Structure 1
Amino acid sequence: MTGFPWQEILAVLGVLIPVVAFVWEFAIVGRKRLGYRIQMDTTPAGLNTEHARAWQRLERKSGERLKHPSFVLVRIENIGSAPINTGDYATPDGDNVGLSVRFRGRTVAGVLVTELSDDNLETFFRKDKWPDSSDEQEEDGHKIGIVKLPKVKLNPDDHYKVLVVLERAGKQEAELAEPEVVGTITKAGDGRISKTRGQTGTPRWAVVLICFLLMVGMTEPFIFGQTLGTGAPLECASGTLVVTGSTAFTPVVEQAAESYQEYCPDARIDTGGMRGSVDGLQRLESEADPEERASTVVFSDGTAGADSPALVPRPKAFMLFSIITNPGTEVHNLSSDDLRRVLRGEVRNWADIGGKDLPVVVVDRESESGTRMTLEERFFESAAQPGENSTDCERPRGDAQGQVLRCRRTSTRAMLDTVAGTPGAIGYSETSAAGERDDVTEVLIDGQAADFRAAEEGAYPYWQTEYAYTYGEPAPESLPAKFLRFLTNQEGADILRHAGHRPCTELRDAVRCRPS
C-alpha cells in the first residue's frame, strides 16, 4: 500500500473537483440566479348569481365589469447563492422595470403584491418606484397583457408574489396560454430567469456527489497521515491569535474565527476586544511584549496613517456605510449639503428640511471609531465634529440648553438601538448592519442608495476600505498570516460577501481596494 500513488491520485482529485465545482457553479448554474413559479392560473367555472356575487363586482379601473376574468399568482425568487442587486437587471439604469410577465390572449385588469419574504422589499413597490404596473401589446392578432415588475434587490432565498387579475381578449381559445416571465440578470451565465418548481427530494446526482466528496474528505487525512506522518491541513496553524479593532467589522471577524477554529482545532482566536479601529491600532502600537505584538491582528476602517510606520496594512474588504434616521423623522433623502448642516447642528428641526416637526438629535460614535472617521473624511474633509452635550440623548448637560442634542455610542449595535429608540435621531452605521433592522431608515444621499456599483462609479460617497494591520510582517507559517490568507482566499471570502462586504479581489482597483 505504501507504494501506491495515493498522493498523486488525491492531488488530481483535488484539482478536478474544484474545477468541476467551479464550472458547475459559475458556467452552468451561476451564482446569480433568478427563478419564477406560476403558483395559480385559474378561471372561474361559472358565475352563479346566488353564490358568486363577489365575482360579479370585479371590474376594471374604468368601471367596466369583467366578463371572463382569470387569476394568476406569480412567485419571483432568488434561487442562486449570491444577492441580486438592482444594478444586476439587464435593463437601462434609468428604467426601473426589471422583469415583465406576458399574458397572451388576456389583458391586465389589476395587480396586487400579496407576499414579501422580507418587509424591506416593500420599498421597491412604492408608487414612486413602481408607477406603471401594467401595459398591453398586440402580436399576430392577439392582445398581450403585460405586468411590469420593478428592479427588486433579492438576497438568497428571498421572494415576492404578485396576484394578477386578467380579462380574456380577442379570440377565445379553448385553453389560456401559459404566462411568460421575461427578464435577464447580467454576469450570470445566460442570465435568463428560469422556471422553477418545488422539490420534494434530493436529486440522485447530488447524493452521489456528496457521498463521493465525503469519502474523499474522510479518506484523505488517514492516507496522508500514513504516508506523510501528519494529518494537519495545509493552511492550519496552532497557537493563539488576538483580533481587535473595528466594531463594524466584528460580525465578519467572529464568523471567520469560528470557521477557522472548526477547520483548525489547534488554533485559538480571541475576538472579544473589538472596541474600535483607533483603539485597536493604539493598543497594538503601544504593546511592549514582542510575543503579544506578533500574535495580534487589528482591523481598521481606513488607514492608520504615516505616523505608525511599524504597523503593516493589508486591504481586505470594501465596505459601505449608511446614514440612518428614526423612521418618525419621515426623511428618506438628504443632499450632501443638508447632511452636513444636520450633523453640524445647524438644522434644529426636521421640518426645516421637509421632514416631520421633530427636534434633531445627532447620535455620534466615539472619536476613535473608524465609522465616524470615515464620515468625517467623506463629508467634512476629516474635520472633527462638535462634542456631545447629552448622555442619554434626551436631556442636555450643563449650558447646552437650546442647542441640538448630541450623544455618543461606543458600538454599531448601540448606535442602531439608540437611533431606533430616539424620536428625531440621526446617526450612521455599516450598511449591512443597518439593512438587518426594520426600525431605522436608511437615508439616500443625493438620491443615491448605498450600493456597491454606485460607490465604484463615484455616485455614492460613504464607503471605506477595511484594512488588517500587523506589527511588522508576520512569519508566513504563523497563525496571523494563515488566518489573513483564509479570510481572503478561502471560506473567509464567502463570509465577507454574506456579511454585505466585497472582497478587494473583486474590485477593478483590487490593489488599493477602492473605486478606480
Structure 2
Amino acid sequence: MGVFRWEIILAVLGVVVPIAAALYEFVFVGRKRLGYRVQMDTTATDAVHSRYAGALQQLQDGDGTRLADPSFVLLRVENSGATHIDSGDYAALPDDKVGIRVRFPGRRVAGMVVTELSDDFLRPCFADGSGLSVRDGVIELPKVPLNRSAHYKVLAALERTGEEGSGSGPRAEFDPPEVVGGIKGGVGNGGIQETRSQTGTSWRAVALICFLVLVVLGQLAVALGGDDAAALDCAEGKLVLSGSTAFGPVLRDAAEAYRKTCPDAEFAVRTEASSEGLEELDRAGREQGSGSPAQLAFTDGEKGGAYPRLLPRPVAFSLFTLVVNGEAGVHDLSLEQIRRIYDGKVANWKELGGNDLPVLLVGRLNDSGTRRAFEQKVLGAQEPPLTSDDCRTPRPGAASGPIRCERSSTGGVLDAVEQVPGALGYSALGEAADRRDLRPVSIDGHRATLEGADHGAYPFWETEYAHTYGEPPADSLAAGFLRYLTNEVGKDIVRSHGHRPCAELQNPVLCRPTGQAGPRPASPPASPPASGGETDGG
C-alpha cells in the first residue's frame, strides 16, 4: 500500500476510535444534561376482577368523589450528564420558582407526592414556597440543584377526564406525559430528555466491541497475508545447498519452509561431504568468472587454509555423539578408553565391562567434517585404516587391528552400527536420537548437551559454517536464505535437529572462526589432516 501499511492504519484506528467514542460520550454528549424517566404508568382498575382490590377500587378525590378510571405515574427526574446542575442553570425566568412542568394528556392530577430523594439534603428543595405544586392539572417541580447522578421521584395519582388523548374507553392506554423544562448550556437545545433504564449492554458499547474485534481480525489477516514475504526478505531464483551430510536434514527442512513462504524460490540440496561442497562451490565461482554463484556450501568446522575465495559464516553449534549397538552393553566411555579402542588395544566389549562381543568400528570417509571433528576433538589422532567393506569380516591382506569400515553419510554409519552387533560409530546428535536400537555414549560421564559443550566438559562438538564464493548481493536468494536460518523460524528448525543457534551459546565466541575467537575449551591436540581431506567440513 505504498507508504501507508495496513497494520499501522489498523493499529491507529484501534486507538483513535475508542478515544473519540469516550470523548463523544463523556465530554460532548454527557457534559450537562437533565433527564427524566417514566418508571411506572398504570391504571388502578383490575384487568381480572379480584375481591382483594380493596381501597384501590375506592380511590377518592379530596372532596370524597371516586376517581374515574384512576391511574398512577412514577416519574424519575435525574442529572444524566457529567457535570453538576445548579438552580441557576434552569432555563426559566429568575423570579419563576418552577424548573419543570409535567402535563398528562387526557388525565387530571388528583394527588402528587415526592417519594424518593437520592440525597437527604435535597429535602428542603421541596418545602413550602419552593415552587412544588399542582396547578390546572399540571405538576410543577422546583429548580432543584442536582449533583452528578442525583435524582428524585414523583408519584402522581390521576383520573381520566374524557378529553382528547384519553382513549376511547376505560381500558384504553393513556398518552405519555409531557415533560417541559431545560437547562442553560445543556446538550442540544438544553431541553430535558427522556432517558432509558440500562438493563443490558448499550448499542454503543456493542458497536465499539464489534469494531475492535474487526480491527484485531484485520491485523491477523494482514499478518497471515502477503506481508510475510516482505518480512522474510523473499527472493526468487534457484539456490544449490551442498556440503555437510550431518547438516543436511536442517537444510532440507529449511529449504522446504522457505519455499512455502516464498514460492518463487527453488532449492537443490546436494549434501554428500563437506570437502566436496567446498570444492564444488569454488569450481562454480571460478567458472562463473565474476560475482557470487547461487550456491552455499556447509561444513562441520572451518575450511582451513584451502579455498581462500570462500567466505565462512557461522550459523549453528553442532553436537555429535558416539553411538554403539545396543547389544554391546556400554553407555559411558572415557577419552582414554575411546583412544585405546581406536588404537586396537581393546578387542572385546567385556574388557570394558560390556557384553562378550567383538569391537567393530564404523567411520566416515576421509572427506567428512564429522570425521575431522571426531579426530580432532576426541581421538587427538587419525582413525585407523579401512580394513572391511561389510563391517563384519576383514579384507584379504588387511592390516592387523580392529575391524573398521567406512560409510559416505551419517545415515550410512547409523545403519551399519544398528545392524552389526558390537559396532561403534559416531554421528550428529539429532539423527542418532531417532534410532531405537542404538545407544548414545557419554564421554567421561557427560552426555552430548549444549551446556556440557559450552562449558568445555563435553568435547565432541563443532561449529557449522555456511560458505559463499565472495560476497553475495544483499537481495539474492543466497543472502536471503542465510538470513532466514538466523530468524525465529530458522532457529526453530536448527533446534529441532539437535543443533543450536550460535546466539544461544553462553560463550558465543565458540561460533566464530578460530582467528576471531578467544581460547576454545580444552581438547586434544589436532592431528595433521589425512591425505585426500583438506577440510573440517561434514
Contact 1:284 1:293 in 2 (8 A): no
Within 5 Å, give how 1:120-135 maps onto structure 2.
none
Contact 2:292 2:472 in 1 (8 A): no
Contact 1:315 1:512 in 2 (8 A): no
Distance 2:445 2:345 in 1: 21
Q: Evaluate the alpha carbon distance shift between residue 411 and residue 279 of structure 1 in structure 2; reply closer, same or farther with a 3 A threshold.
A: same
Q: 1:376 maps to what in 2?
A: 375
Distance 1:292 1:263 in 2: 27
Distance 2:10 2:283 in 1: 45
Q: Evaluate the alpha carbon distance shift between residue 397 and residue 220 of structure 1 in structure 2; reply closer, same or farther with a 3 A threshold.
A: closer
Contact 1:316 1:503 in 2 (8 A): yes
Contact 2:446 2:457 in 1 (8 A): yes
Distance 1:395 1:461 in 2: 31
Structure 2 SS opposite 1:342: helix
Q: 2:491 maps to what in 1?
A: 493
Q: 1:467 maps to what in 2?
A: 465
Q: Evaluate the alpha carbon distance shift between residue 267 and residue 330 of structure 1 in structure 2; reply closer, same or farther with a 3 A threshold.
A: same
Contact 2:10 2:218 in 1 (8 A): no
Contact 1:321 1:462 in 2 (8 A): yes
Deviations 1:355-389 (A, max 9, x none): 111111000111111110000110233x3222211
Structure 2 counterpart of 1:284, one-letter code: L
Q: 2:352 maps to what in 1?
A: 353
Distance 2:297 2:352 in 1: 40
Deviations 1:452-503 (A, max 9, x none): 1111111111011000001111111111001000011241111111222110
Distance 2:276 2:434 in 1: 26
Contact 2:10 2:215 in 1 (8 A): no
Aligned equivalent of 1:417, options 415, 418, 435: 415
Distance 1:209 1:407 in 2: 64
After TM superposition, give the deviation of residue 292 of structure 1 in Å.
9.6
Q: How many residues align?
A: 313
Structure 2 SS opposite 1:397: coil
Distance 2:510 2:241 in 1: 23
Distance 2:506 2:10 in 1: 32
Distance 2:2 2:241 in 1: 44
Within 5 Å, give how 1:109-120 maps onto structure 2.
none
Structure 2 SS opposite 1:289: helix
Distance 1:364 1:450 in 2: 19
Q: 1:99 maps to what in 2?
A: none
Q: RMSD in angstroms over aligned alpha carbons?
A: 2.8
2:283 is the alignment partner of 1:277: no
Contact 1:10 1:220 in 2 (8 A): no
Q: 1:325 maps to what in 2?
A: 324
Structure 2 counterpart of 1:428, one-letter code: Y
Q: 1:216 maps to what in 2?
A: 222
Within 5 Å, give how 1:175-190 maps onto structure 2.
none
Structure 2 SS opposite 1:294: coil
Distance 1:476 1:460 in 2: 37
Distance 2:216 2:325 in 1: 47
Within 5 Å, give how 1:252-331 maps onto structure 2.
252-271=250-269, 273-287=270-284, 288-290=286-288, 294-331=293-330
Q: Evaluate the alpha carbon distance shift between residue 5 and residue 325 of structure 1 in structure 2; reply closer, same or farther with a 3 A threshold.
A: closer
Q: 1:187 maps to what in 2?
A: none
2:393 is the alignment partner of 1:387: no
After TM superposition, give the deviation of residue 212 of structure 1 in Å.
5.0
Deviations 1:105-148 (A, max 9, x none): xxxxxxxxxxxxxxxxxxxxxxxxxxxxxxxxxxxxxxxxxxxx
Structure 2 counterpart of 1:216, one-letter code: V
Within 5 Å, give how 1:401-480 maps onto structure 2.
403-480=401-478
Q: Which has the larger radius of gyration?
A: 2
Contact 2:296 2:468 in 1 (8 A): yes
Contact 1:325 1:441 in 2 (8 A): yes
Q: Evaluate the alpha carbon distance shift between residue 367 and residue 208 of structure 1 in structure 2; reply closer, same or farther with a 3 A threshold.
A: farther
Q: Evaluate the alpha carbon distance shift between residue 339 and residue 512 of structure 1 in structure 2; reply closer, same or farther with a 3 A threshold.
A: closer
Structure 1 SS opposite 2:446: coil
> TM-score with structure 1 length normalisation?
0.57
Distance 2:10 2:485 in 1: 24
Contact 2:244 2:368 in 1 (8 A): yes
Distance 1:238 1:220 in 2: 15
The one of the two structures with greater contact order (alpha-carbon pairs below 8 A, sep at least 6) is 2
Contact 1:237 1:266 in 2 (8 A): yes
Q: Evaluate the alpha carbon distance shift between residue 209 and residue 432 of structure 1 in structure 2; reply closer, same or farther with a 3 A threshold.
A: farther
Distance 1:343 1:209 in 2: 66
Structure 2 counterpart of 1:422, one-letter code: V
Contact 2:454 2:507 in 1 (8 A): no
Distance 1:380 1:404 in 2: 15
Structure 2 SS opposite 1:305: coil
Q: 2:178 maps to what in 1?
A: none
Structure 2 counterpart of 1:399, one-letter code: G
After TM superposition, give the deviation of residue 283 of structure 1 in Å.
1.6
Distance 2:215 2:322 in 1: 46
Deviations 1:220-275 (A, max 9, x none): 65xx9xxxxxx86660111110000111101100000001111111111111x100
Q: 1:366 maps to what in 2?
A: 365
Q: 2:341 maps to what in 1?
A: 342
Give unmatched runs, 5+ long, in structure 2.
Answer: 16-212, 513-519, 522-538
Structure 2 counterpart of 1:464, one-letter code: E
Distance 2:4 2:272 in 1: 51
After TM superposition, give the deviation of residue 12 of structure 1 in Å.
6.0
Q: Evaluate the alpha carbon distance shift between residue 12 and residue 339 of structure 1 in structure 2; reply closer, same or farther with a 3 A threshold.
A: farther
Distance 2:416 2:368 in 1: 16
Q: Evaluate the alpha carbon distance shift between residue 5 and residue 242 of structure 1 in structure 2; reply closer, same or farther with a 3 A threshold.
A: closer
Q: 1:152 maps to what in 2?
A: none
Q: Evaluate the alpha carbon distance shift between residue 244 and residue 388 of structure 1 in structure 2; reply closer, same or farther with a 3 A threshold.
A: same
Distance 1:339 1:253 in 2: 31
Distance 2:297 2:493 in 1: 18
Contact 1:434 1:440 in 2 (8 A): yes
Structure 1 counterpart of 2:336, one-letter code: D
Structure 1 SS opposite 2:486: helix
Q: 1:513 maps to what in 2?
A: 511
Distance 1:8 1:497 in 2: 31
Contact 1:323 1:428 in 2 (8 A): yes
Distance 1:213 1:431 in 2: 40
Q: 1:250 maps to what in 2?
A: 248
After TM superposition, give the deviation of residue 400 of structure 1 in Å.
2.8
Structure 1 SS opposite 2:508: coil
